[in-house]
């Protein structure tokens, strides 16, 4: 097997066994990146020099513990000290943070080596990575298709073997949906499990940092490192972080799994339903108890989400005003024009649309009808999950209603695009952990299954996802990268 | 003021809370540093930065709430107030909208010997904005510069009910509020440095009318005097406008200290719509009754308690007690004096007359003063034992205030000590008697007035430095010999 | 139902976005469509439902009042588009 095909735990074995040096490993990933990027375009910034320097330092120390010598990449929404962080927006095209995100820093402290920054939809608003201000990323399984989004660069890079693992963020499905489209493991942890410090905010009450990896074990390894209280993030929770690897025992006997009937309606493609139902059968064979459940307010999650998230975004993105950093219009004669022109030149259409929508939903006269109403519906959605979790350990559903769509196919009507999030958004609204793992192929495209757990019970997700892997080979599928 | 109109005033006071660090980051709050040297990515509103709430800020607000008789609700939360301005780095201010930390409350003011209770609507926590530096005036400057040192400094905004009816009441409210904040130790209340700021909502209405008139909000009131003058001006302006048949426009105005007038701040017509919504980056606060009790039990003496103490322990008049308890430094000065010199009324008289006069003349706070309370006490003792006359003492006091020197030293340097030495005085007296044998005869023949003549002569010859008590005693002795 | 151009202009001013005529038209329609979709929430009776603004049952996350060094000035100002006298420079306000 080539190095780029290996998982984090396999690479670790090679390093620890002195079969390969960190420098050789990192170099091999850069050769992979350099050969694939012209057609894949998953990266926005490549930090080859810094990475090789760190690899050589690692080899000099000769210690290979934790993530020592293991390469990784970050969605370009994670601030990186001294390295451009653009959020795939023209407004931050030349922004160089003076600080690191907590999650990124923890990986580096454990010896991980940053390869570069990954493409995304501008400010994480989108489901296809076509809303990047710079370029679209292609799906490694079919270069004419989107990798999903907003963390499309992260999913594509892991899937194509450009990096062993990557971090992304998930506000309404931005990790799980691209993971599903690209056939990799994607975890959105419980809200509050991983620090958001240094991660450019989209919708603060929904955003959560998570992991893309080739298999569940890798995901558990990375989660054990990035999870946990951060004194710099008031919403990160003071709860002990278990060693997530300890959940990987392959045993789901007696586990109660519910599948919500609402998640198998609503325009979900038949082939996808079939793939997920087959996966559920697999669980049953493995000794789990499978039952249909109901989350009655599911259909209202999406309209509520498209009020709450833009409202928060309208405030979060107000700081991009051309004063302290970012794009600035120098011709404006007064400050109001300077603000308005800088922002209009700096933001793309989708971002403007959501800022407008959010501003409207919060504005005088509409707050109660839209924003407040959405917060009340959010409570109903959270209550739905709570009820089911009184009786069940896990909820399973499809991750996305369809496999990856074609580039340029869904750029017209925004509402159609928003429908891609219909199965992932409720999980963010309830703040729960959700994971997408590959569970099949439809016409040569990967299909993802979504596992939803109780708050702070990522352990059960790992347990169930790992057990599935032990009994299937979907996680070993690799994309063709356009080579037939 | 016109007879037919009644004035209605409500004040919004911003007090900077006395914390070492900012509201949501660990930058220092020290005043007066070089621009942009007390900042970090959080208070400069950089992408990906998150607020973490300062415990001290919350405790100081609770303390204020206790001092203002407010209710501290069990749950309060923070909200984002959205507006664009170059000194507001996040383009939203973290504030409290519908669930403030203090609800209701009151304080009592004294005007013309009458006590009046002024209601407090609420007090909420928020962060300060940065500072904009203009070239000259904001309306004419071609550009402005932004310094973010102040950005994120914790503030408590205290909103009164519209229950004041004159500029004097407003001033009394502001003075009382300041004294409470100072005594509670929650703010430095330095109006010049902006750590205590005040906006005045002013309206007028015909006497007897129930509804309020249209109000204006006047900003930039950075002294008690400007508060009083601005309100007086605004009341006059509004009454004149109404009498001329104009309508009062609800607007924000600013006080022009130079021209001594308020003027409209309206510029480009723009809708104010702050789009408040709950701050998702901060968890709500749950304030247990135990927490409040713990803070209450560590509460410093408040003005109302200090005032009672002065009246009960020292039998001071209410008026004196009210003035001495206007600031904790002032009270401290009094308490230190009184521990050395125990006639409270005399100390109070000196503080309210001489000391106050000099402080006002020099536009100084008592804390800036070089005069030590122990030295005032010493001066009062020197008057009592006849070392110095009451009149001279005032001169000495001025010098003490200016230089901080001890009274004995000043008296010595200026040769102001009274002559009490009997031998010196006897020779002086005998000389004068010798030169005025005729007058001495008159005295001995029962002419009482003659005694006064001798006293006058002795004072003249001694340039007023002969100790009158001793002179009286000795003169009687010598004249009867 | 589409928003009026006037409504779009008002929101754009609040959000500090300068939109051209085409953008105003497009946003008026698209926002209308999305808001129509959002109006489906009115099918639900939410009387007496507590709005959910903070998903975590966490309170009183507080920090001690201890000063830590801020950023070096040249570092924090390094991304600024326009500076004068170590301050951010902006065009006239009124």
**Domain range annotation of chain C:** 5-41
Domain CATH number, residue A152: 3.90.1300.10
Secondary element (H or E) of residue B459: helix B449-461
Banded pLDDT at A266 (limits 50, 70, 90):
low
Both tokens of residue C76? 């924090």
DSSP helix/strand/coil, A91: helix
Largest CA distance in chain B: 103
Q: Under a CB-based contact definition with an 8 Å cutoff, are residues A129 and A407 in contact?
A: no
Residue A319: list chain B partners with CB under 8 A. 45-47, 89-91
Cβ distance A356 to C27 less than 8 Å, yes or no, reads yes
Cβ distance B20 to C67 less than 8 Å, yes or no, reads yes
Domain CATH number, residue B468: 1.10.10.410
Q: Under a CB-based contact definition with an 8 Å cutoff, are residues B162 and B213 in contact?
A: no
pTM of the predicted structure, to 2 decimals: 0.92
Total tally of structural domains belonging to chain A: 1
pLDDT for B65-115, tens place per residue?
999 999 999 999 999 999 999 999 999 999 999 999 999 999 999 898 889
- B67 plus B170 within the same structural domain: yes
Q: Is a pLDDT exceeding 90 seen at residue B220?
A: no
Both tokens of residue A225? 């490192």
User: What whole-number percentage of chain C has pLDDT above 70?
Assistant: 100
Q: What is the 3-state secondary structure (H, E, C) of chain C?
A: CCCCHHHHHHHHHHCCCCCCHHHHHHHHHHHHHHHHHHHHHHHCCCCCCCCCCCCCCCCCCEECCCCCCCCCHHHHCCCCCCEECCEEEEEECC
- Give which of A126, A469, A137 is closest to A286, Cα–Cα: A469
How confident is the model at residue B266, as a pLDDT?
65
Phi then psi for residue B72, to 5 deg, are -100, 110
Residue A237 lies in a domain: yes
Q: Under a CB-based contact definition with an 8 Å cutoff, are residues B283 and C54 in contact?
A: yes
- B122 plus B248 within the same structural domain: yes
Cβ distance A235 to B82 less than 8 Å, yes or no, reads no
Specify whether A150 is catalytic: yes
Specify whether A214 is catalytic: no
How confident is the model at residue A286, as a pLDDT?
97
Cβ distance C41 to A95 less than 8 Å, yes or no, reads no
Both tokens of residue B8? 């209605």
Both tokens of residue B84? 């664009």
Q: In the listed set B292, B327, B354, which residue is the last one of a domain according to the structure? A: B292
Total tally of structural domains belonging to chain B: 3
DSSP helix/strand/coil, B125: strand
Secondary element (H or E) of residue B360: helix B356-361
Contacts of B145 (CB under 8 A, 6+ apart): B35, B132, B133, C84, C85, C87, C88, C89, C90
In this structure, the dihedral spanned by the alpha carbons of residues A437, A442, A443 and A446, taken in order and rounded to 10 degrees, is: -10
Angle CA A329–A333–A338, to nearest 5: 35
- B329 plus B468 within the same structural domain: no
Q: Report how far residue C6's alpha carbon sits from residue C28's, in angstroms, rounded to the nearest whole number.
A: 9
pLDDT for B257-293, tens place per residue?
889 999 988 654 455 799 999 999 999 999 999 999 9
Question: Is the peptide bond prior to A158 cis by the omega test (within 30 degrees of 0)?
Answer: no
- Give which of B85, A202, B46 is closest to C79, Cα–Cα: B46
In sequence order, what DSSP letters do the residues of B177-246 get, joined into one string?
A: HHHHHHHHTS----TTTTSEEEEEEEEEEETT--SPPP-EEEEEE-SHHHHHHHHHHHHHHHHHHHHTTP
Residue A46 lies in a domain: yes
Mean pLDDT of all residues belonging to chain B: 92
- B266 plus B364 within the same structural domain: no
Q: Could you give the C-alpha distances from C4 to A263, A340, B212, in angstroms and in order?
A: 36, 20, 36
Structural domain harbouring A101: 3-255+402-410+437-476
- B344 plus B384 within the same structural domain: yes
- B170 plus B154 within the same structural domain: yes
- B247 plus B310 within the same structural domain: no
pLDDT for B360-405, tens place per residue?
898 888 888 889 999 999 999 988 887 887 888 898 999 999 999 9
Distance from CA of C44 to the nearest CA of B (A): 22
User: Nearest by CB to C91, which of B53, B58, B143?
Assistant: B143
Residue B39: list chain C partners with CB under 8 A. 70-71, 73, 76
Angle CA B243–B245–B250, to nearest 5: 95
- B237 plus B203 within the same structural domain: yes
The whole-number average pLDDT for the span A162-185 is: 98
Number of helices and strands in chain A (H, E): 15, 11
Q: In the listed set B397, B414, B431, which residue is the last one of a domain according to the structure? A: B414
Residue B144: list chain C partners with CB under 8 A. 89-90, 92-93
pLDDT for A413-434, tens place per residue?
777 778 889 999 999 999 999 9
Structural domain harbouring B318: 301-414
- Tokens 């971090």 locate to A167
Contacts of A398 (CB under 8 A, 6+ apart): A263, A264, A268, A272, A273, A275, A276, A423, A447, A448, A449, A450
Q: Report how far residue B160's alpha carbon sits from residue B100's, in angstroms, rounded to the nearest whole number.
A: 14
pLDDT for A362-377, tens place per residue?
999 999 999 999 999 9
Choice among A132, A159, A174, A213 that is catalytic: A174
- B286 plus B325 within the same structural domain: no
- B307 plus B287 within the same structural domain: no
- B376 plus B439 within the same structural domain: no
Residue A383 lies in a domain: no
Specify whether A344 is catalytic: no
Banded pLDDT at B2 (limits 50, 70, 90):
very low
CB contact C62 to B (< 8 Å): yes
- Give which of A356, A346, A376 is closest to A313, Cα–Cα: A356
How confident is the model at residue B3, as a pLDDT?
56
- Give which of A362, A301, A91, A109 is closest to A200, Cα–Cα: A91
- B397 plus B467 within the same structural domain: no
Cβ distance C31 to A353 less than 8 Å, yes or no, reads yes
CATH level 3 topology of C5-41: Histone, subunit A (1.10.20)
Cβ distance C58 to A235 less than 8 Å, yes or no, reads yes
Strand B252-256 to A71-75 pairing: unpaired
Long-range contact list for C1-10, CB < 8 A, 24+ apart? C1/C32, C1/C35, C1/C36, C2/C28, C2/C29, C2/C31, C2/C32, C3/A360, C3/C27, C3/C28, C3/C31, C3/C32, C3/C35, C4/C28, C7/A360, C8/A356, C10/A363, C10/B271
User: Nearest by CB to B267, which of C65, C90, C94?
Assistant: C94
Distance from CA of C51 to the nearest CA of B (A): 11
């Amino acid at each position: 097997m080539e190095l780029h095909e290996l998982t984090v735990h396999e690479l670790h074995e090679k390093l620890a066994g002195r079969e390969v040096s960190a420098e050789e490993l990192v170099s091999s990933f850069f050769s992979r990146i350099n050969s694939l990027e012209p057609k894949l375009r998953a990266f926005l910034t490549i930090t080859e020099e810094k990475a090789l320097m760190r690899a050589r330092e690692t080899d000099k120390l000769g210690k290979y513990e934790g993530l020592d010598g293991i390469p990784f990449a970050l969605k370009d929404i994670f601030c990186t000290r001294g390295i451009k962080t653009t959020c795939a927006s023209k407004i931050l095209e030349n922004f160089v943070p003076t600080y690191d995100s907590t999650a990124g820093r923890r990986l580096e402290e454990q010896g991980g080596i940053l390869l570069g920054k990954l493409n995304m939809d501008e400010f994480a608003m989108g489901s296809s990575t076509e809303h990047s201000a710079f370029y679209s990323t292609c799906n490694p399984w079919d270069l004419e298709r989107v990798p999903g989004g907003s963390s499309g660069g992260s999913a594509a890079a892991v899937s194509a073997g450009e990096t062993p693992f990557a971090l992304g963020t998930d506000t309404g499905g931005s990790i799980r949906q691209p993971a599903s489209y690209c056939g990799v493991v994607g975890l959105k942890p419980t809200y509050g499990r991983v620090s958001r410090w240094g991660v450019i905010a989209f919708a603060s009450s929904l955003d959560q940092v998570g992991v893309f990896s080739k298999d569940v074990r890798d995901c558990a390894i990375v989660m054990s490192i990035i999870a946990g209280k951060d004194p710099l993030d008031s919403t990160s929770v003071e709860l002990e972080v278990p060693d997530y690897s300890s959940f990987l025992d392959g045993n789901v006997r007696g586990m109660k799994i519910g599948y919500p009937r609402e998640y198998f309606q609503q325009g979900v493609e038949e082939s996808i339903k079939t793939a997920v139902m087959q996966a559920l059968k697999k669980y049953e064979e493995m000794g789990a108890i499978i039952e249909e459940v109901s989350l009655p307010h599911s259909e209202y999650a999406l309209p509520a989400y498209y009020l709450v998230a833009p409202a928060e975004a309208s405030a979060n993105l107000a700081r991009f005003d051309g004063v302290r950093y970012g794009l600035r219009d120098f011709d404006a004669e007064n400050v109001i024009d300077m603000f308005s022109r800088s922002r209009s030149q700096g933001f793309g259409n989708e971002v403007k649309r959501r800022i407008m929508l959010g501003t409207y939903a919060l504005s005088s006269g509409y707050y109660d009808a839209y924003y407040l109403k959405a917060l009340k519906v959010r409570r109903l959605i959270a209550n739905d999950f709570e009820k089911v979790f009184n009786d069940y350990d896990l909820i399973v559903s499809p991750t996305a209603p369809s496999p990856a769509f074609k580039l340029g196919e869904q750029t017209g009507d925004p509402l159609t695009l928003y429908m891609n999030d219909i199965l992932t958004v409720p999980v963010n609204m309830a703040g729960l952990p959700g994971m997408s793992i590959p569970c099949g192929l439809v016409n040569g495209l990967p299909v993802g299954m979504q596992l939803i757990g109780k708050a702070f019970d990522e352990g059960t997700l790992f347990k169930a996802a790992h057990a599935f892997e032990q009994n299937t080979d979907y996680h070993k599928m690799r994309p063709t990268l356009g080579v037939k | 003021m016109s007879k037919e109109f009644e004035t209605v005033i409500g004040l919004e006071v911003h007090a900077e809370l006395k914390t070492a660090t900012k509201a949501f980051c660990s930058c220092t709050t020290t005043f007066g540093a070089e621009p942009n040297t007390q900042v970090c990515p959080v208070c400069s509103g950089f992408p990906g930065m998150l607020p973490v709430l300062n415990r001290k800020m919350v405790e100081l607000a609770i303390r204020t709430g206790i001092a203002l008789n407010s209710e501290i609700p069990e749950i309060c939360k923070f909200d984002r107030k959205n507006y664009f301005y170059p000194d507001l780095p996040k383009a939203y201010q973290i504030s409290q909208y519908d669930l403030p930390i203090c609800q209701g409350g009151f304080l009592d003011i004294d005007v013309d010997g009458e006590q009046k209770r002024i209601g407090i609507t609420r007090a909420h926590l928020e962060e300060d904005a940065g500072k904009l530096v203009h070239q000259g005036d904001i309306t004419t400057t071609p550009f402005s510069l932004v310094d973010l040192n102040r950005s994120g400094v914790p503030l408590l905004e205290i909103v009164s009910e519209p229950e004041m009816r004159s500029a004097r009441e407003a001033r009394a409210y502001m003075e009382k509020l300041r004294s409470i904040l100072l005594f509670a130790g929650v703010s430095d209340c330095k109006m010049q440095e902006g750590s205590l700021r005040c906006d005045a909502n002013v309206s007028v209405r015909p006497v007897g009318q129930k509804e309020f008139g249209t109000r204006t909000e006047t900003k930039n009131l950075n002294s008690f005097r400007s508060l009083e003058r601005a309100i007086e001006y605004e009341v006059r302006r509004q009454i004149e406008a109404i009498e001329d048949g104009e309508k009062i426009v609800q607007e924000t105005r600013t006080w022009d200290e130079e021209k001594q007038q308020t003027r409209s701040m309206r510029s480009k017509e723009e809708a104010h719509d702050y789009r408040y919504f709950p701050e998702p980056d901060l968890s709500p606060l749950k304030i247990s009754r135990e927490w409040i009790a713990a803070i209450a039990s560590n509460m410093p003496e408040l003005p109302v308690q200090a005032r009672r103490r002065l009246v009960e322990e020292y039998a001071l008049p209410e008026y004196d007690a009210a003035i001495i308890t206007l600031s904790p430094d002032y009270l401290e000065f009094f308490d230190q004096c009184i521990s050395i010199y125990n006639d409270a009324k005399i100390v109070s008289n000196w503080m309210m007359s001489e000391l106050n006069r000099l402080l006002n003349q020099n536009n100084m706070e008592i804390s800036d003063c070089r005069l030590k309370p122990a030295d005032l006490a010493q001066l009062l003792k020197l008057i009592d034992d006849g070392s110095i006359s009451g009149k001279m003492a005032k001169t000495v006091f001025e010098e003490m205030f200016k230089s901080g020197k001890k009274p004995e030293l000043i008296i010595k340097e200026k040769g102001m000590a009274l002559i009490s030495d009997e031998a010196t005085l006897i020779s002086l007296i005998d000389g004068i008697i010798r030169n005025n044998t005729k007058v001495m005869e008159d005295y001995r023949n029962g002419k009482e007035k003659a005694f006064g003549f001798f006293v006058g002569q002795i004072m003249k010859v001694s340039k007023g430095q002969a100790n009158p008590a001793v002179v009286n005693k000795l003169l009687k002795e010598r004249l009867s010999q | 139902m589409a928003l009026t151009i006037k409504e779009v202009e008002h929101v754009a001013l609040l959000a500090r976005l300068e939109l051209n005529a085409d953008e105003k038209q497009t946003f008026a329609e698209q926002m209308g469509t999305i808001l129509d979709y959002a109006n489906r929430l009115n099918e639900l009776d939410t009387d007496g439902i507590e709005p959910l603004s903070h998903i975590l049952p966490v309170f009183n996350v507080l920090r001690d009042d201890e000063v830590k060094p801020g950023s070096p000035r040249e570092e924090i100002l390094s991304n600024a588009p326009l500076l004068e006298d170590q301050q951010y420079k902006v065009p006239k306000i009124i």
